[in-house]
Amino acid sequence: MGGSAIIVGGGIAGLSAGIALRRAGYEVTVFEQAPKLQPVGGAISIWGNAMAGLDWLGCGDALRERAVQVRKVQLSDVAGRDLFGPVDISTFDGWLPLRAVLQDVLLDTLGPGACRLGLRIDAVEERAGGVVAKAGGEVVATADLAIVADGIHSATATALLGNAPLYRGYGAVLGISPTGDLAETGLAQEIWGERDRFGMLDAGDGRTYWFYMAPFDTPHDLAGLSHDALLARAGQWPSRVQRAVASTPPQGLIRIPISSRPMPSAMGRGRIICIGDAAHAMEPNQGQGGCQGIEDAWLLGLLAQRLGPEAILPELAKRRLPRVRNHWRDSHLVGLSVHSPARLQRFVGRSVMRLTPKRLGPWQMWSRYRPPDYA
């Protein structure tokens, strides 16, 4: 249909939306408050559902060339008992790029001149026949459509949707070890303890991407976890976990308190549309946070090709919210199964995993990560 669009936020969802709307004939401007785009986090899993979206955006192959394919997943407890898998997923089109790589691919596809850096948009409002973006109380841009994609702490999204983010009682420490120590190439593995867990994934070039998640009373407690303290915790885990933590420079650790937004009942208002973590941030337990932001942008672009700006939001919400709700729920249940203070919740969640027949593993993975039909 064409038109003009303001996009607030230069993360995965925002850049993907910019590409998608350009494909639909829109002139787009991406506003990012940071003076330069810097990825947050070490690596990110991009599963088949989001890869299909990147293919539609025109950058799927560029990402595959610079990422490591995830070929097998395995979940066990610290005693060595399998909870899920191992499952061969080599045909599922799942990949692990560094976040910096994904960002570079999206920026290259979006093209030069579309991003305006160093300007914080503090309000987006509807005006007759369009929208305006304000910075410091002054109008800095007008357009036909506004996309709010400025992440989990978006004040604009909270005002529109009413689902302010909540700290979920646990946090993550991420790192990239320069030495690979996995049983096989392309393995994604998690090991669960009583209430904490380590994950290890092949990051390519002999590196291992790893994470540690555990309960913390407050985000401040997570910030105080030193490299030495983390290494002491890793001493109770398999030696490959200890080596991955030990070989990661202390300055390379990334600490992230885990929060999510309560599942919304809407995705915006009128010509203002919230996507990605700004709308439906979920706990990082299914590898779907970034993937669902890409899906938002994919469907947004398809709808923008045939609907006017005022008609996009109702159709987007109708088709996206049920799907997002399933992933949000599954991610929350996994969090309870490993980090809940209630022993019964942990026992029930892990028992369901252990008692599920292994032959159903591939089907469970495929049903979770298969590409949606947005045609």
Residue closest to 101 by CA, chosen among 79, 68, 53: 68
Q: How confident is the model at residue 352 (pLDDT cuts 50, 70, 90)?
A: confident
pLDDT tops 90 at residue 283: yes
What residues contact residue 7 under an 8 Å CB cut-off, 6+ apart? 14, 17, 18, 21, 28, 29, 30, 31, 146, 147, 149
> Is pLDDT of 180 > 70?
no
Q: What is the pLDDT of residue 366?
A: 86
Give CA separation, 69 vs 213, 243, 244, 293, in Å.
24, 23, 20, 20
Taking residues 115-121, report their average pLDDT.
93
3-70+95-165+261-341: CATH topology: FAD/NAD(P)-binding domain (3.50.50)
The pLDDT score that the predictor gives to residue 39 is 67
The pLDDT-based confidence of 331 (bands split at 50, 70, 90) is very high
Span 256-277, pLDDT tens digits? 999 999 999 999 999 999 999 9
Q: Is 122 exposed, middle or buried (0-12, 13-18, 19+ CB in 10 A)?
A: middle
**Mean of per-residue pLDDT scores for the chain:** 94
Residue with tokens 């008992």: 81
Return the CATH number of the domain spanning residue range 167-259.
3.30.9.30
Residue 102's Cβ-side half-sphere holds a number of Cα atoms within 13 Å equal to: 28
Helix (H) / strand (E) element for 148: namely: strand 145-148
Min mean pLDDT across 28-37, 38-47, 286-295 is at: 38-47
Q: Which residues contact 49 (CB under 8 A, 6 or more apart)?
A: 291, 295, 369, 370, 371, 372
What pLDDT was estimated at residue 131? 97
Domain parsing of the chain, residue ranges: 3-70+95-165+261-341, 167-259
Lowest mean pLDDT among 88-92, 325-329, 361-365: 361-365
Position 38 pLDDT exceeds 80: no
> What is residue 369's DSSP assignment?
H
Q: List the single range of 95-99, 145-149, 365-369 with lowest mean pLDDT.
A: 365-369
Among candidate residues 109, 111, 115, 114, the one with its CA nearest the CA of residue 54: 109
186: left (phi over 0), alpha (psi -120 to 50) or beta: left
How many whole angstroms separate alpha carbon 302 and alpha carbon 307? 9
pLDDT digits (tens, 9 = 90+) for 145-178: 999 999 999 999 999 999 999 999 999 999 999 8
- pLDDT value, residue 301: 98
- Angle formed by the axes of helices 99-110 and 12-23, nearest 10°: 20
Give strand pairing partners of 7.
Answer: 30, 147
Q: Which residue has the tokens 């997570």?
A: 222
What percent of the chain shows pLDDT beyond 90? 83
In the prediction, which pLDDT does 361 show? Answer: 82
- Examine domains 3-70+95-165+261-341 and 167-259 and report if their fold is the same: no
How many Cα atoms occupy the beta-carbon half-sphere of 119 within 13 Å?
20
**pLDDT cut 70: percent of the chain above it:** 98
Q: What share of the chain is helix, strand, coil (3-state, %, to 5)?
A: 40, 30, 35
Q: 258: which 2 tokens? A: 């885990």
Tell which wins on pLDDT, 182 or 47.
47
Q: What are phi and psi of 364, to 5 degrees?
A: -60, -45
Q: Residue 183: pLDDT band by 50, 70, 90 thresholds?
A: low
pLDDT tier for residue 129 given thresholds of 50, 70 and 90: confident
